Structure 1
Amino acid sequence: MTTSLHSSESVTRTSSTAESFRFAISDVWTLTGREFKHWRGQPGTIILGWVFPVMIVLMFGSLFGGAINVTGGAGYFEFLIPGMFAMTMVFGLETTVMAITVDAAKGVTDRFRSMPMSSSAVVLGRCTADMVNSIVGLMILIGSGLLLGWHWHGGFDKALIAVGLLLLLRFSLLWVGIYIGLAAKGPESVVALQILVWPIGFLSSVYVDPSSMPTWLGAMAEWNPLSATATAARELFMNPGWQGDTWATQNSILLAIIWPILLVVVFLPLSVRRYRRLRS
């Protein structure tokens, strides 16, 4: 009799967990769809976000292409474009922060919190929509790179791993952005993030070899998570990089995995906890 009761409780608990998970997935999908509807309402902004990295590639390739010597005599685009793939994972982060902050400022987040829905669905829905946006933007940039003469020289499997590392970086940075958006006092606070994005991007190996920088600055650039992913992408695409002998350079693929995982481990739970603690 006791065994029967325990079994019944276990089945009920399992069924309740499965049902809660199903409802959570449904909530996430509903809020992801909300973001897609916003895209339809402002297609120009979304398309500009996809095209902007292509414009940066053309600008930097034209400005610096003739002044920078690349290892092995390859063209600058061969060096630049994998770095820009990584840089694209940073672009749009302020948009994520702004969207989260504006929803909180307008009371939209409070309305979501008052509804019978999963407490993590709001942040997960935003993350899912932004990941889809990032995938489309990355595919457009890859296509543009191919048109400009860039190619990957390794196997297709290595190219897929490189794309996976790029999207892993984007996924981790989204959680940083979501947390900042939830913690921000208002839309005005997002300006500070917009100011910081570019220095973080430039203090990396995206555009130039860190060995050409002052020693202390080059060390900071090599350990930048953006540099780790850019260097790993160049290695997997078999595009030219630089012959650094530091641990960060020699283990770029490992570092391109460790950095995003650390960011997710820290900022995902912080984001969910921050959302739950928001005051109406």
Structure 2
Amino acid sequence: MEYQFSNAVLNTRSQSFEVDGKKAVLEDRTFKLLAYLIDTHPKVCSQEELVAYLWPDSVVSPWSLPRLISDTRSLLRRLGVKQDVIFTVRGQGYKFNPEVTILSANDTAQLELAILRAEQRSDGAHLKFWIGVTLLMCCVCIWLVVNHGFDHEQNMSFKASEPVDAKGRILWVDDNPKNNAKEQGYFLKKKIGVYNTTSTQEALLLLSMYEYTVVISDMGREGEPLAGLKLLRAMRAVGNNTPFYVYTWVDSDQQTEVILSAGGQGVATKKRELYNYVLLHFSDEKM
């Protein structure tokens, strides 16, 4: 895929970057950051989402992403890019700032771009109807591709998140469930059911209706940095003592102390650590 913005061109196939026709070298993580922000443009990407993408299966400092953003901005200015490329959305995250033009792409990407532009320009009911139909068809195709690829990779489907002979249930609260796909796959292989929800409100409703063996939550979501702690406090306030763990990328003794003092069982920043915690509640299970 080849993208043009401002006076620069980024090509994800050849892993190349040019400014005013002159090639420039970008470090791998800088290139991945730009490509991801462009690919998700005009969406605002949260800090957790970007950290999970750029540092997979790693624990990094809370300042790693801001430092990378700052270094990337400085580098692009030195290379002669005329516009500010990365825009900070206070309390939400980061987004790609300039307009993006796709110079070469497959038919699906061109169709999606054309639909997006047409929808932004037109208020006509007829056009919106056909845009809706086309989007629906694209979504169905993407769903089939993603699910086929996931089944091939994991030899199971997350559509049925509880095995027939499940030993218990996990309620997983995270506004980006896809970030935990490997971890959830591990628990499913252990015949432990996994149920995803993306908000505190939905989690509290589910907890009032069903029984779960363990609750796993992220700490910050949807612009609320203490969402996980608030969920824990709300659970304990109504007498729900289901074991509660926070799964996050920030390693902090203070954070662990706060969760424990609120009635939680622990904080995990690595997959193995999370597995050890959760399997304690399934007496016949080992790593």
Q: TM (normalized to structure 2)?
A: 0.24
Please state which structure has a larger fraction of its residues in helix.
Answer: 1
Return the structure number with greater strand share: 2
Asked which structure has the greater RCO (Cα within 8 Å, sep 6+), the reply is: 1
| TM superposition score normalised by structure 1 | 0.25
